[in-house]
Amino acid sequence: MEWQKWSKHTVFRLCMAAYVVMLPAILLAGKKLPDMPPPIVSTKVLFMFPTVWEYLGFVGNWLTYFLFGLLGVILITSEFSYKTFRQNVITGLDRSQFFYSKIAFYFAICLFGTLYYALVALIIGYFNTESIYWQKVWQHLDYLPRYLMMCFGYMSLGMVFGFLIKRTALALIGYLGYSFFLEPVLRWAVHRNIWQHQSMHYYPVNGFEDLVPAPFIGFADDFLKQFGFSLFLTPWQAVTVSTCYISLFLWISWRIVRKSDI
């Protein structure tokens, strides 16, 4: 039902097409970059195994934040704007079926995004790695479930903003405003100055980001020396934090669905 409802929706098609095109295109644009002198690594690491998983994952991190997060908002707010939520309930679809169908559709989108990420990484890595060994190819196999969770995390955050605000433009402003402005202010201007502790990384968007973090950045070591903890969450910390927030967002969304007036 969800596929029939959204497969011909213009925004849905644009977001999915943009993801399919831009994921490989942004990474491959790195071939135009000149090699820098040592100790900066060659641009070849962007495309070869095993580091292609890291760099492509970083590209996908930004794309899914914008595109999948946008879908997470719109797939909910459109139900209220077009009154299809009301119609679904009136015609016999109970609230739990409505909610679970949304979750299943979100998961299907995230699964597609993850499988496509794996396919692109394998193709780019295959054509840009001189010596291919099984161990080298799958060295970062753990990126796949973390990438899937990252996608679902952004979509669940978009979902909760959609349910809380219900109006598309305002919900999108809320989603972008929180992640771009409010959370960084809370983390860096408030939390760090009150309590310099690793818990400053335990915020939703940062937790989702650190599931597939930026490839190693030189100043991370300086941050560790200065504050006594890493600039990034470890994979297991990111998984734990993300699981907690996804569960919270789904619970809030379900509570709103149960109490929504039709």
Question: Using one digit for the tens of pLDDT, what is the confidence trace for 156-203?
Answer: 999 999 999 999 999 999 999 999 999 999 998 888 788 877 888 999
C-beta of residue 23 within 8 angstroms of C-beta of residue 56? yes
Residues 6+ apart with CB under 8 A from 101: 1, 2
Reply yes or no on whether the pLDDT at 251 is more than 50: yes
Burial of residue 114, with CB atoms counted within 10 A of its CB: 0-12 exposed, 13-18 middle, 19 or more buried: buried
| Residue ranges of domains in the chain | 2-259
- pTM comes to 0.92
Whose CA is closest to 164, among 72, 70, 256? 256
- How many Cβ atoms are within 10 Å of 154's Cβ, its own excluded? 28
What is the structure's pLDDT at 1?
Answer: 80
Percent of the chain at pLDDT > 90 equals 61
Write the pLDDT tens digit of every residue in 25-55: 999 998 777 665 454 556 788 899 999 999 9
Tell me the C-alpha distance between 180 and 184, whole Å.
Answer: 7
Mean model confidence pLDDT for the chain: 88
Lowest-pLDDT range of 39-43, 53-57, 217-221, 254-258:
217-221
Which carries the bigger pLDDT value, residue 218 or residue 149? 149
Which carries the bigger pLDDT value, residue 69 or residue 39? 69
Which carries the bigger pLDDT value, residue 123 or residue 258? 123
Chain centre distance of CA 215: 16
Write the pLDDT tens digit of every residue in 114-161: 999 999 999 999 999 888 888 888 888 999 999 999 999 999 999 999
What is the structure's pLDDT at 63?
Answer: 97
Tell me the C-alpha distance between 35 and 103, whole Å.
Answer: 44
Reply yes or no on whether the pLDDT at 229 is more than 60: yes
What is the structure's pLDDT at 134?
Answer: 82
Residue type, 196: Q
What is the structure's pLDDT at 147?
Answer: 98
What is the structure's pLDDT at 231?
Answer: 79
Question: 3-class SS at 83?
Answer: coil
What is the structure's pLDDT at 261?
Answer: 61
Lowest-pLDDT range of 69-73, 80-84, 109-113, 241-245:
80-84
Number of helices and strands in the chain (H, E): 14, 0
